[in-house]
Structure 1
Amino acid sequence: MIDKLEYLLALARERHFGRAAESCGVTQPTFSAGIRTLEETLGMPLVERSSRFQGFTPEGERVLDWARRIVGDMRAMRADIGALKRGLSGLLRIAAIPTALATITELTTPYRAMHPDVRFSIQSCTSNEVLRRLENFEIDAGVTYLDNEPIGRTRVVPFYQERYRLLTSAGALLGHRDRVSWAELGQIPLCLLTPDMQNRRILDRLLHNAGVELLPTLESNSIVVLVSHVQTGRWACVLPEKLARIFGLTEKLRAIPIVSPEEVHTVGLVLPDREPLSPLVTALVQIASQHAKDLADTP
């Protein structure tokens, strides 16, 4: 039965019978037969069929919810028993929004020191993609905003507070300032993340509230692209404070606090809404919680 539920999860993830079968390592006829066997066992159709996959029936959507719980619990049980025998080992899969990628080392470095047999896979995703991958068991944990847009049925662990900086060259307009307002950003050519990024939607709201109807001169889903353009001295961008720090600020490149208002958002872990969590994820929660406590205790 578990393997048939795995098939169902693969179909929800891939939305295509052939790709779902390939991801499960079986032929498409074997895969389709497995789905039909599951339907016969439960006595109800689960998939809307035609010449191609069209979605799940209402009953299929409900079974899919149960499949996620059952398969998740089974994987967690196997990992828990394995940890009793060997200690923590295996692959921990994390997806993070681009603006949080620079902070992942604050999780993985202490984790690796405590559990050297654990390996990591870090993926860059939009906030919506983080939640989708978590729901479909493609990742073990996500790092995203916790307080701006809905995050569905997930467990959350606050990690740090995000504040914003204007990244610009010292010789550019506003580059000499100690702080700037959101309204003043309408005076300069900005390059920003693309609108599918939640960070961009936050910035659009802040700029709109400040009376700035901005059409960016450049958009990209890559932080590296944004910063490389700022380094030419002809653009500026808005980045989270933690991210701005990693680009080797010099006398020519400055990160200036943006105030009026000073916006703060909570970034943290999103986790499967189940108990118990897998040992790998439990260890991650402990490290993230300790990091957040250390930040709170720092004057």
Structure 2
Amino acid sequence: MIDKLEFFIALAKEQHFGRAADTLGITQPTLSAAIKQLEDQLGVMLVKRGSRFQGLTPEGEQVLIWARRIASDTRTMREEMRAARHGLSGRIRIAAIPTALAMVPRLTTPFREKHPGVTFSVLSRTSIEVLSLLGNFDIDAGITYLDNEPLGRVTSVPLYSERYQLIIATGSNLSERSRVTWAEVSQLPLCLLTPDMQNRRIIDQHLAEAGTVARPTLESNSMIVLFSHIRTGKWASIMPLNLAETFGFAEPIRAIPIVEPDASHLVGLVAAKREPHTPLVAALLDEAMALADDFKAGR
């Protein structure tokens, strides 16, 4: 039944029999037969039938919740048995908010030095997408804000506080200041992350607290795009200092603290709340706690 449940999960994700069969590496008739067998075993219809996929029945939605849980538990069992025989191995799937991507190597590099049989998949996603992927067991862990929007049922490890700086080319307006206010920053030609990003929602919130609003002249979901525009000397942006530093300051670019308010937000690792965690996730949580100690010590 495990295989049939995994087939059903793939169908629910792809919402198309042909695409789901391709993802699974089987033929469409094989997938259709497996879903029909699963329906016969459970005694309910799972899929609305027609000339094409039309969605899941209410019973199918309930079964999907159980299927994801059972598939996750099965994966945990297999990982534990494999770890008992050969040590940790396999792939860890991580999704991180864009502003935290530069920090990921500080987690993955020491982890892989300890466990060379492990590989990683790292995706850039919004905070909402991180939690959705985690809830659907499509990733093993996420890196996101911990204190700004509801997280739901997760295990979290606080890593560091994100503090905001005006990133601007030398010679631009305000570039010689030792600090600036949010109200002053709002008057600059800004390039910012898109509104679907929690970082942007945080920036909008602090601008509102200062009695102003953001009027960006450029928006992007890529930090690289933002930084490349800052380098032209025609745009400024608002970024966490730790992120801006990873791009380097070879060009005449300054990072200036933003005050009134002097704001910070907590970023950390999150994993689905469950006992036990898979061996890979448990080891990753341990590595995150060690990294958090490094951040606290200023290393």
> Shorter-chain TM-score: which interval?
over 0.9
Q: Secondary structure at the match of 2:54?
A: strand
- Please give the per-residue CA displacement for 1:158-216, whole angstroms capped at 9, x wherever unaligned: 22211111110121111111111111112200001111211112112222222222221
CA, structure 1 residues 201+48, in 2 after alignment: closer, same or farther (shift >3 Å)? farther
Q: Bigger shift: 59-68 or 277-286?
A: 59-68
Report what 1:253 is aligned to. 253
- Inter-partner Cα distance in structure 2 for 1:54 and 1:197: 31
Residues 192 and 238 in structure 2, CA contact (< 8 A), matched pair in contact too: yes
Report what 1:48 is aligned to. 48
Report what 2:270 is aligned to. 270
- Inter-partner Cα distance in structure 2 for 1:38 and 1:112: 39
The aligned runs of 1:67-146 (5 Å cut-off) are 67-146=67-146
Deviation, structure 1 residue 287: 0.7
Deviation, structure 1 residue 4: 1.1
Q: Bigger shift: 144-153 or 105-114?
A: 144-153
Deviation, structure 1 residue 251: 7.0
Letter matched to residue 248 of structure 1 = G
Residues 7 and 35 in structure 1, CA contact (< 8 A), matched pair in contact too: yes
Letter matched to residue 69 of structure 1 = R
Q: Secondary structure at the match of 2:55?
A: strand
CA, structure 1 residues 2+47, in 2 after alignment: closer, same or farther (shift >3 Å)? same
Percent of pairs with identical residues? 59
Deviation, structure 1 residue 250: 4.6
- Inter-partner Cα distance in structure 1 for 2:103 and 2:42: 45
Q: Secondary structure at the match of 2:242?
A: helix
Q: Bigger shift: 189-198 or 59-68?
A: 59-68
Report what 1:162 is aligned to. 162
Q: Secondary structure at the match of 1:121?
A: strand
Deviation, structure 1 residue 297: 4.4
- Inter-partner Cα distance in structure 2 for 1:30 and 1:251: 58
Residues 158 and 269 in structure 1, CA contact (< 8 A), matched pair in contact too: yes
Deviation, structure 1 residue 238: 0.7
- Inter-partner Cα distance in structure 2 for 1:140 and 1:30: 29
- Please give the per-residue CA displacement for 1:107-155, whole angstroms capped at 9, x wherever unaligned: 0111022112211121111222222322333322111112222333332
Q: Mark the runs of 5 or more structure 2 residues left unpaired by the alignment.
A: none
Q: CA RMSD in A?
A: 1.7
- Inter-partner Cα distance in structure 2 for 1:50 and 1:150: 39
Q: Secondary structure at the match of 2:174?
A: coil
TM-score normalised by structure 1 residue count: 0.94
Q: Does 1:38 align with 2:28?
A: no
- Inter-partner Cα distance in structure 2 for 1:298 and 1:168: 25
- Please give the per-residue CA displacement for 1:3-26, whole angstroms capped at 9, x wherever unaligned: 111012112322222211211111
The aligned runs of 1:238-249 (5 Å cut-off) are 238-249=238-249
Letter matched to residue 88 of structure 1 = L
Letter matched to residue 156 of structure 2 = V
- Inter-partner Cα distance in structure 1 for 2:198 and 2:49: 35
- Inter-partner Cα distance in structure 1 for 2:273 and 2:48: 28
